[in-house]
């Protein structure tokens, strides 16, 4: 709760600094502020509490995920200082919106009431529609923003419809009352089930699971690369934290109906994400499809919610986030120097700049799930937990899919080491290097000592 | 007059006007029939003793938002009856998925044991003070938090619309 208030205050502060003509200090202040909030957030550890008539519930789950959200935003802001060097007029708007999105993500990680969930999702999405379209003189960015806006508002409408049907049956928005409604009624009313499924549709849209994924590749490709990095890390993680919280606290670890739906969607998502990624030649589109396939893996965690897997979800999210951020910290300067976002932009990077190439290689290996990086143990714990919950066939499918995944992640590595370099020099500013080192180090540390994160949540 | 008769009249009106919004070829007629639809829904609110909500609904939706939409249609000169051509595949996919959703909803309404129509909650339920008490006691946090949503939406609008300085 306090974390949410501090973050919102920080957002308003950065907004007002533009008025006070302190434009130069906005990014440093925001980064330091988020670091301070990260520390203050830890004070709530092991002190579960509920606030404002059980609207928000602070638990170790919400503290851990809020910490991750703050960390990701901090990294993104460090890169934003460099990314927006020629766009000083807008820097305060962008920073403020990014911080407000983090506040929305925190609501999605700590809600105990469907109203708060809806507000969190909307705060996150509406700001993101504008950021996706923020390159205003680029048609692709316009298309991304508009497409995301239309599809996203449609999904929000479906979400509201579902919430209304659930409210009609339960007469309350509180997750605890929905949960007791499910356990008290042996046969659930059809209206309630329809409502739950509609809420599920909207949530699956937000995490870009197939067959609700059609927006993701276009939006990821058209949005400014920094925003793509933000979408593929924080937004996806917030969506899954919300979905997991909804299923565990609200729906009693999954009703038979939601389990059936998630099962089918997980299979579809795994296949669509991985098979479509094979044919991509644009790095951002590749990351979009890779994000869809990761959504498929994370759906397995939600499916096995009965066996208390919040630590697995957290570990997987953290591993996925640092690998994604490390990959984009290399990709951003390459895009800027070469002016291209295709995979061919990485041609010969191994000769031109071995350090960057090594960083991207490690990020890709981490995403593919090869030891010793955290991505491997994320997948390992995920498959083990899902197997223990009796999801045999789908785990088998997921293992096959992660092998397919190795192929397209190695396409990037092959381009860097196997192809001849061209003339363009790659400028790599200090802040990108810093982000790359920090994220790769974290990925390695969490991979070697997984118990640092896995023992956090029960 | 029998209240169920009014209910059926209002329902028919809202369904017909909503269909007109979708099927009308001219955007202006769509917007105008949407206004009719909003008014009939406001009538439903009155029937349920939610007078305050009905008034707010008319002021905000039929008033502010519809005027905004009309202005957009007029300023951008969208009042043409041409429609972008859609492929048959899109149409078939849309009909199938929309039809499946409708089937699910109708089936769940049919299977639901709906209680017989009874007179709604006490007539003072929809008064401003009851709405206010609920809003500022039970729903205080969402009320305050929505200010963050609105501020970020406003900044987002500024980001997209601010005049570029060169």
B120 and B165 housed in the same domain: no
Cβ-defined contact of B155 to A96 (cutoff 8 Å):
yes
pLDDT of A384: 92
- A266 Cα distance to chain centroid: 17
Cβ-defined contact of A15 to B155 (cutoff 8 Å):
yes
At A301-310, the pLDDT tens digits run 999 888 888 9
CB pairs under 8 A between A and B: 95
Hey, which residues does A174 pair with through a beta bridge? Answer: A113
pLDDT of B81: 59
B50 and B132 housed in the same domain: no
Contacts of B149 in chain A (CB under 8 A): 104, 119, 122-123, 126
Cβ-defined contact of B142 to A51 (cutoff 8 Å):
no
Token duo for residue A415:
């381009």
At A341-383, the pLDDT tens digits run 898 888 888 888 899 999 999 999 999 988 889 999 999 999 9
Look-up: residue for tokens 């500022």? Answer: B136
DSSP code string of A199-215: HHHHHHHHTT-TTS-TH
Distance in angstroms (rounded) separating the CA atoms of residues A426 and A103: 35
- A435 Cα distance to chain centroid: 18
Contacts of A100 in chain B (CB under 8 A): 148, 151-152, 155
Percent of chain A with pLDDT over 90: 70
CATH number, domain containing residue B59: 1.20.120.1200
- B80 Cα distance to chain centroid: 24
Cβ-defined contact of B156 to A53 (cutoff 8 Å):
no
- A202 by Cβ neighbours in 10 Å (0-12 / 13-18 / 19+) ranks as buried
Handedness of CA A158, A164, A168, A172 (dihedral sign): positive
Q: Mapping DSSP to helix (H, G, I), strand (E, B) and coil, where does residue A308 land?
A: coil
Cβ-defined contact of A97 to B155 (cutoff 8 Å):
yes
Contacts of A123 in chain B (CB under 8 A): 145, 148-149, 152
B9 and B26 housed in the same domain: yes
Hey, which residues does A50 pair with through a beta bridge? Answer: A57
B95 and B139 housed in the same domain: no
pLDDT of A18: 85
How do the domains of chain A map onto residue ranges?
Answer: 254-458
pLDDT of A76: 95
B68 and B12 housed in the same domain: yes
Nearest CA in chain B to A211: B97
Residue in A52, A123, A133 nearest the CB of B148 = A123
pLDDT of A53: 87
On the CB side of A125, CA atoms within 13 Å amount to 26
B40 and B7 housed in the same domain: yes
Distance in angstroms (rounded) separating the CA atoms of residues A31 and A212: 34
Nearest CA in chain B to A9: B148
B62 and B31 housed in the same domain: yes
B148 and B116 housed in the same domain: no
Distance in angstroms (rounded) separating the CA atoms of residues A200 and A330: 35
**Nearest residue to A285 (alpha-carbon basis) of A144, A99, A86, A79:** A144
Cβ-defined contact of B109 to A116 (cutoff 8 Å):
no
For chain B, what is the radius of gyration of the CA atoms?
21
Contacts of B148 in chain A (CB under 8 A): 8, 11, 100, 103-104, 123
At A133-189, the pLDDT tens digits run 988 888 999 999 999 999 999 999 999 999 999 998 888 999 999 999 999 988 888
Is residue A41 within 8 A of residue A71, CB to CB? The reply is: no
Local confidence band at A257 (pLDDT 50, 70, 90 cut-offs): confident
pLDDT of B82: 60
ipTM summary value: 0.89
For residues A418-447, give the mean pLDDT: 89
Nearest CA in chain A to B166: A89
Main-chain phi, psi angles of A282, to 5 degrees: -105, 130
Block means of pLDDT (10 residues each) for chain B, 166 residues, are 84 94 86 92 89 91 87 76 73 91 89 66 77 90 93 91 71
Distance in angstroms (rounded) separating the CA atoms of residues A277 and A292: 9
B53 and B37 housed in the same domain: yes
User: Which 3-state string (H, E, C) describes B48-102?
Assistant: CCCHHHHHHHHHHHHHHHHHHHHHHHHHCCCCCCCCCCCCHHHHHHHHHHHHHHH
At A111-120, the pLDDT tens digits run 999 999 999 9
pLDDT of A458: 67
B119 and B145 housed in the same domain: no
pTM above 0.80, yes or no: yes
Nearest CA in chain B to A91: B159
For residues A392-409, give the mean pLDDT: 92
Main-chain phi, psi angles of A155, to 5 degrees: -65, -40
Position with higher pLDDT, A96 vs A90? A96
pLDDT at A61 > cutoff 90:
yes
B107 and B139 housed in the same domain: no
pLDDT of B15: 95
Quote the domain boundaries for residue B48.
3-126
Least confident window among A71-75, A295-299, A446-450: A446-450
pLDDT at A104 > cutoff 90:
yes
* Contact status of A199 with chain B (Cβ, < 8 Å): no
Look-up: residue for tokens 């799930």? Answer: A369
B2 Cα to chain A: minimum distance (Å): 25
pLDDT of B79: 61
* Contact status of A115 with chain B (Cβ, < 8 Å): yes
B13 and B80 housed in the same domain: yes
pLDDT of B121: 64
Nearest CA in chain B to A54: B138
Contacts of B111 in chain A (CB under 8 A): 190
Distance in angstroms (rounded) separating the CA atoms of residues A290 and A279: 12
At A47-57, the pLDDT tens digits run 899 988 889 99
Distance in angstroms (rounded) separating the CA atoms of residues A236 and A228: 11
- How far, CA to CA in Å, does B37 sit from each of A93, A429, B30, B42? 37, 57, 10, 9
């Amino acid at each position: 709760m306090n974390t949410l208030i501090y973050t919102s205050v920080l957002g308003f502060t950065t907004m007002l600094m533009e008025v006070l003509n302190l434009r130069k200090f906005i990014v440093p202040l925001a980064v330091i502020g988020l670091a301070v909030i990260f520390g203050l957030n830890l004070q709530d550890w092991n002190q579960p509490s509920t606030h404002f008539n059980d609207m928000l519930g602070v638990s170790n789950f919400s503290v851990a995920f809020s910490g991750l959200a703050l960390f990701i935003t901090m990294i993104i802001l460090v890169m934003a200082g460099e990314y927006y060097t020629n766009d000083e007029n807008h820097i305060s708007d962008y920073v403020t919106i990014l911080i407000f999105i983090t506040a929305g993500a925190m609501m999605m990680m700590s809600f105990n009431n469907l109203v708060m969930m809806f507000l969190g999702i909307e705060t996150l999405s509406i700001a993101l529609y504008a950021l996706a379209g923020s390159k205003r003189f680029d048609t692709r960015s316009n298309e991304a923003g508009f497409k995301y806006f239309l599809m996203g508002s449609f999904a929000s409408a479906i979400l509201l419809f579902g919430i209304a049907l659930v409210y009609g049956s339960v007469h309350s928005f509180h997750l605890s009352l929905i949960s007791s409604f499910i356990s008290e009624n042996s046969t659930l009313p059809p209206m309630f089930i329809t409502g739950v499924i509609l809420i599920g549709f909207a949530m699956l849209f937000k995490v870009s699971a197939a067959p609700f994924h059609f927006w993701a590749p276009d939006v990821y490709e058209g949005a400014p690369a920094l925003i793509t990095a933000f979408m593929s890390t924080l937004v996806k993680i917030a969506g899954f934290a919300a979905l997991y919280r909804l299923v565990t606290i609200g729906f009693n670890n999954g009703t038979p109906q939601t389990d059936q739906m998630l099962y089918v969607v997980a299979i579809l998502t795994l296949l669509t994400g991985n098979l479509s990624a094979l044919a991509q030649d644009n790095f951002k589109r590749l990351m979009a499809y890779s994000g869809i396939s990761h959504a498929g893996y994370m759906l397995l965690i939600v499916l096995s919610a009965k066996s208390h897997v919040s630590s697995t979800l957290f570990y997987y999210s953290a591993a996925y986030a640092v690998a994604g951020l490390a990959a984009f910290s290399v990709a951003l300067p390459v895009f800027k120097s070469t002016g291209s976002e295709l995979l061919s932009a990485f041609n010969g990077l191994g000769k031109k700049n071995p350090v960057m190439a090594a960083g991207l290689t490690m990020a890709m290996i981490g995403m593919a799930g090869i030891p010793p990086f955290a991505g491997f143990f994320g997948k390992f714990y995920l498959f083990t937990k899902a197997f223990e919950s009796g999801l045999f066939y789908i785990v088998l499918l997921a293992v096959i899919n992660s092998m397919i995944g190795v192929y397209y992640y190695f396409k990037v590595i092959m381009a860097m080491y196997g192809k001849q370099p061209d003339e363009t020099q790659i400028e790599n500013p200090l802040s990108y290097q810093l982000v790359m080192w920090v994220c790769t180090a974290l990925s390695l540390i969490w991979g070697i000592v997984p118990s640092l994160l896995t023992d956090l949540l029960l | 007059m029998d209240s169920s008769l009014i209910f059926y009249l209002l329902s028919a009106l809202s369904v017909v006007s909503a269909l007109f919004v979708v099927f009308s070829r001219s955007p202006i007629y769509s917007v105008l029939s949407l206004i009719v639809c909003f008014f009939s829904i406001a009538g439903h609110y009155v029937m349920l003793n939610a007078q305050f909500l009905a008034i707010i609904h008319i002021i905000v939706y039929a008033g502010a938002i519809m005027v905004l939409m009309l202005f957009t249609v007029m300023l951008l000169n969208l009042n043409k009856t041409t429609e972008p051509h859609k492929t048959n595949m899109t149409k078939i996919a849309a009909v199938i998925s929309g039809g499946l959703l409708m089937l699910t909803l109708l089936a769940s309404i049919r299977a639901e044991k709906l209680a017989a129509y009874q007179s709604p909650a006490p007539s003072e339920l929809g008064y401003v003070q009851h709405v206010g008490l609920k809003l500022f006691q039970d729903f205080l946090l969402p009320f305050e938090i929505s200010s963050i949503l609105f501020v970020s939406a406003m900044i987002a609008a500024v980001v997209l619309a601010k005049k570029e300085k060169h």
